[in-house]
Amino acid sequence: MNGTDDRAARAWSTPRTCWTLIWTTLRALVVLGLAVGCAVAFFYFVDVSQTETGRTAENADRMALLCFFAVLPITVTGIVMSWTAIRRLRAGGRRWQVVTVQRFRSGVREWVQLIDHHDQLIGTLKLRRWISASGYRDGTEVWFAGDPRKAGLVALPGGARTLFAYQAPWYRAPRFGRTLFAGSGDPGGLPPRAERPRYEPKPPPTPLRGGKDDESFPSPRMLRRTLAYILDVTVHVAIGVGIGALANPASRQAVEQQDWGNLQINWAMVVGFFLLASFVDRVLIQALTHTTLGKAVFGLVVIDRDTGGYPRLRRLLAVWLVGVIMPVLVLGNSTVPERPERYLLPAVRRGDIDNRATES
């Protein structure tokens, strides 16, 4: 590859790759615009439901509820797509290099190993989407632009079928291809055939932290967890019902006069503020303090099943989203997330956490 060859040019200067970058960026902006539109529509329909009466108010309530349920997942999707588009554009500013790929599929994830012209392994990345139908095969020569240890663009010669590959810190790359023989003296090459193992034994599964059999957290907590959950749900429901009932001036007057028969509850606002209270408590507050209001009352904190440490904000957000969407998936007989136990964070006694810190 030389400087005058198209493959030595920057990735974004290749027409097919340039179109892919433009399309993915526009797609992310459209999703973000849709999220903003849903937010504006939500406040508009809430205002209509409070100022109008009869069937118009009922339809406005339904539309406000629909917009509220749509705005959060669309916003999260738009942010993720925008961040991925930015990383694609960064990689597009790098120059192409020719590499050979070996691929491996683990469940719903697709991985590729990048091997340079010296037959050395230079990186293992996760693909943004499956490549089984994109023309890539083991030993295929492809173009790569980016940092093979972090992220980059992978394309067939000419820039066709450009895909984004990245190193995800929350996904551990499986051992396959060249990594099966790492440590044999030549990390990039293969040992003689007679020295190659016939199979790769699977490592023992890592025990989940925070379970009943985890001796690091010996204090009983089942009753505390149940009571904390009931208290959290009660607080969230009370916030939703309170705001939904007091948002209407007629309802406020009925409460002041204790005329419960004329109490008018805006159910769209009840559901909306219930979810908002749940989000603030279970995601934002829990990210800062590692506990919710209910868990704090009973001396509990949440931990990550895989690491035993406090979960990060993105894990708490994923747990909350799955908790909201899972009932719909189950009732609709849809596909549930892979390893659903990852989205059930264990709660342990804060005293056990303090004892572990003191011992260490």
3-state secondary structure of 287: helix
Amino acid code (one letter) for 205:
P
CB burial readout 44-71, b (16+ within 10 A) else e: ebbebbbeeeeeebeebbebbbebbbbb
Q: Is 333 left (phi over 0), alpha (psi -120 to 50) or beta?
A: left
In sequence order, the 6+-apart residues with CB closer than 8 A to the CB of 115 are 99, 100, 101, 102, 121, 122, 178, 188
pTM of the model: 0.51
Nearest of 159, 100, 162, 107 to residue 131 by alpha carbon:
162
Confidence bin at 339 (pLDDT 50/70/90):
low
Residues 321, 314: Cα–Cα separation, whole Å: 10
Query: What is residue 331's predicted lDDT score, i.e. its pLDDT?
Result: 52
pLDDT tops 50 at residue 190: no
In the predicted model, what is the mean pLDDT of residues 332-337?
Answer: 49
* Confidence check: pLDDT of 214 > 50: yes
Lowest mean pLDDT across 82-96, 136-150, 199-213: 199-213
231 pLDDT above the threshold of 80: yes
How far apart are alpha carbons 190 and 293 in whole angstroms?
56
Q: pLDDT at residue 230 above 90?
A: yes
Q: Residues 16, 159: contact at Cβ < 8 Å? A: yes
Of 88-102, 183-197, 213-227, the least confident: 183-197
User: At residue 234, does pLDDT exceed 90?
Assistant: yes
